[in-house]
Every structure is written in C-alpha cells, then in structure tokens.
Structure 1
Amino acid sequence: MTGLDEHIAALRVSDADRNGTLRRLHNAVALGLIDIEEFEERSAQVSSARLQPELDVLVGDLPGPGAIVTSAADRVELRGVLGSLKRHGEWTVPTRLALVRRMGSVDLDLTKAKFAGPIVVIELDLRVGGLDLRLPEGASASIDDVEVIVGSAHDHRKDAPAEGRPHVILTGKVVCGGVDIRGPRKSWLHRNG
C-alpha cells in the first residue's frame, strides 16, 4: 500500500488542481492568514508546479477548501424573491456579501463603493436570475469557485488588475442565470473622444 500512496502523491497536476490551490490561497488572504506579498509568492509557484506534492506544500499550513470565514458583523445577506435588487452609488461593501435570490436579478455597481477590506467574498445562491457586477478600475475578480447550471460566468473586462485595488472572490451557485463582470461605465464623451 505504501507504494500506491507514493504513486498517488507523485501524480502530475492538472489546471483544475492548480485552480483549486489558487482558491485556497485566495481564501487564506480573505481570512488574514497570509498577506498579499505571500499570496503572490505562493501563486507564482502554483503555475510552475508539476507534481501534487509541490502544490500540497503551498497550502499545507492553510485551512481546506470552502473555509472562508469572517465574523458575523462583517457579513451581510441580501435575500429576495421576484423582481430585481440594485445597489449603486456610494455604499460600503462588507468583507462578505451573500446574495440569495429566487426569480430575480442582482445588479451591483461597486465603482463608487467603499470597501470594508481589500478582499470581498460574494456568496451566490441565485435561482432563475443572474448577477451583473460592475467593478472599479483596476479591481480584480475570481469566478473560479462559481458553479453555473444552465448559464455562464464571464469577466468582460480587458484591463489588468492594479496593485492595491480591491479583489472580489465570487463563490456559490447560479441556476438558470449568469454572472457578468464589467468595469466602470464609460461616458459618452470618453467613448467618442
């Protein structure tokens, strides 16, 4: 049995394995277990990892997948059935935002929002409806942890993330709907000038 264990531990890793490791590193930043500098160091090693033990070493001292936790005071839950939910303008985005919707869309514009922390986790539980998310210039986002059943998740932005800007981690499930991430709206003058 020891030979079999060694064989399994020495298996080559796939892109899905690397993405899972990156999600755990994102979670560790959200929990305050590692800082951005350590996250960047470990993330760089993820892409060059070829064997499972190389990935295991990068997350061996961190909680398992799905272990994102924050204090209850930092979590806001927005629930609803039918219709749409919209948040625009200046508002404070908590470190953890849960969106629970049935037969309705969610339109979040974070371009003028204040962020409670450098990382925001948005938990999705959407049925027959989707999320349209607008992020400020230079913000980054991860949709790797979103499960979409009958629909799609797409980040439409082309600009590279900027250092010191907010990072949004989307997680959870969307059934019969989609997730669309866009940057700030461009003014008519900006588009034509």
Structure 2
Amino acid sequence: MTDTGGDMVAPVSLRVSDADRNGTMRRLHNAVALGLIDIDEFEQRSSQVSYARTRGELDGLVGDLPGPGAIVTSAADRVELRGWAGSLKRQGEWTVPTRLALVRRLGSIDLDLTRARFAGPVVVIELDVRGGSVDIRLPDGASASIDDVQVYVGSARDRRRDAPGEGRPHVVLTGRVVCGSVTIRGPRRSLIRGRLEGPHRGRARG
C-alpha cells in the first residue's frame, strides 16, 4: 500500500487564482464601505492582494472581517444603473449610495458628484463597461482610488491636481473596462471662477 499522506498540501499553502483575489477585493470593498476598516487599512491590504500567491496570504488580509454572507445588500445600500448605447447622466443634488454599480455597453456615463449627498464617507463604484466612457466629477476635498480598475484597451486616469490621498468622501472604483476609459475630474473650474469672481467681475470692468 502506498502512503501519499506526505504529498498532501496544507490548505493555507494552496495556490490562488485571479478569481480568488477578486473575491478578496470584494470583501475589502465591502468592509471599507461599511466602516469596518478605514481608508489607510483598505489601501494597505488591497495593495497586497495582487501579490498574494497562497490561500494563507489572502486569508491573512481578511481574517478579521465578516464573510461575504454577512454583507448587507439591500436596495438602500446598493444601486445598479444599466444601459445600452446613448448616455447616462447624474448631476445636481442627488443621493449617492454606498455601493453604485455601473453596467454600460456602447455609451457614456457622466456622474457629477460635486453637489451630491453621500450615504456614507466611502463610496464603492463597481464598473462593468464595454465600449464606453465613464467621467466622474468629485467635490473639492474628495479622494479616489482607481488602482483596482482592470482596463483592457483603454485608460483610467485621475486628472485632478493635488488630489488628497485620504479625503471625504473617498471613492473606490473597481471592476472592468473594455475598450473604454475612466476619468476622474474635479469641479468645473468655470463654476468656481463664477462664484469667486461673480460679485467683483462687473466692478473690474467698470
């Protein structure tokens, strides 16, 4: 009889796949959205996910967090916006949920959050975009993370100057963009100039 016990690999030493890493990232996104970990902890842990090679390494990043089944997924916490072609726009005073899923095919998404109300200090935006663009405007003082966005033939950029590393609100973008782009911007500069210069513009010209 052959003894194969010595060839067995401990569960913590098993190699992990991209699907396993994505599952860990979802748990981290949920945790920061629920306030279980702060932004610094999220950034530290998420940066290690892509380097994890074994189950033990991944488990060490979420061992103190609730499992996926413990996450609240009510309509009040997560909103999904779907569309095909055309454009989707949100602006003005609207409520941004803690989790926002954007599913788009062949179209554009323009989200202006500069005057929006936020359900929490952290917003997780899940992207599933193919052949389209996503343009997000954030208010002054807001921070954003685009490190977890997978882009295939396209780009993901934060065009703001001197954007804070840890602001309020903090927007975490995740998911996949195929043949498209993601752009983070600040408030429209023309609006800011109008507010600052409005009372004095007429006098300067007089």
TM over 0.5: yes
The total of aligned residue pairs comes to 181
Label 1:187 to 1:21 Cα distance change in 2 as closer, same or farther (>3 A): same
Q: Is the 8 A contact 2:96 2:118 kept in 1?
A: yes
Q: Is the 8 A contact 1:88 1:109 kept in 2?
A: yes
Q: TM-score, normalised by structure 2?
A: 0.67
What amino acid is the match of 2:154?
Answer: G
Instruction: Describe the SS at the equivalent of 2:176.
Output: strand
Q: Is the 8 A contact 1:70 1:96 kept in 2?
A: no
Label 1:155 to 1:103 Cα distance change in 2 as closer, same or farther (>3 A): same
Q: Which moved more, 1:137-146 or 1:158-167?
A: 158-167
| Match among 125, 135, 142 for residue 139 of structure 1 | 142
The correspondence of residues 94-113 of structure 1 with structure 2, limited to 5 A, is 94-113=97-116
| Deviation (angstroms), 1:182 | 0.7
Label 1:177 to 1:21 Cα distance change in 2 as closer, same or farther (>3 A): same
Q: Is the 8 A contact 2:131 2:179 kept in 1?
A: yes
Give me the identity figure in percent: 70
Q: TM-score, normalised by structure 1?
A: 0.71
- The residue number in structure 2 matching 1:17 is none
Runs of 4+ with >4 A deviation: 20-26, 41-47, 51-58
What amino acid is the match of 2:182?
Answer: V
Larger radius of gyration: 2
| Deviation (angstroms), 1:139 | 0.7
- The residue number in structure 2 matching 1:40 is 40
| Match among 61, 76, 80 for residue 79 of structure 2 | 76
Unaligned runs of 5+ in 1: 10-19
Unaligned runs of 5+ in 2: 1-5, 15-22, 198-206
Let me know the Cα RMSD of the aligned residues.
3.9
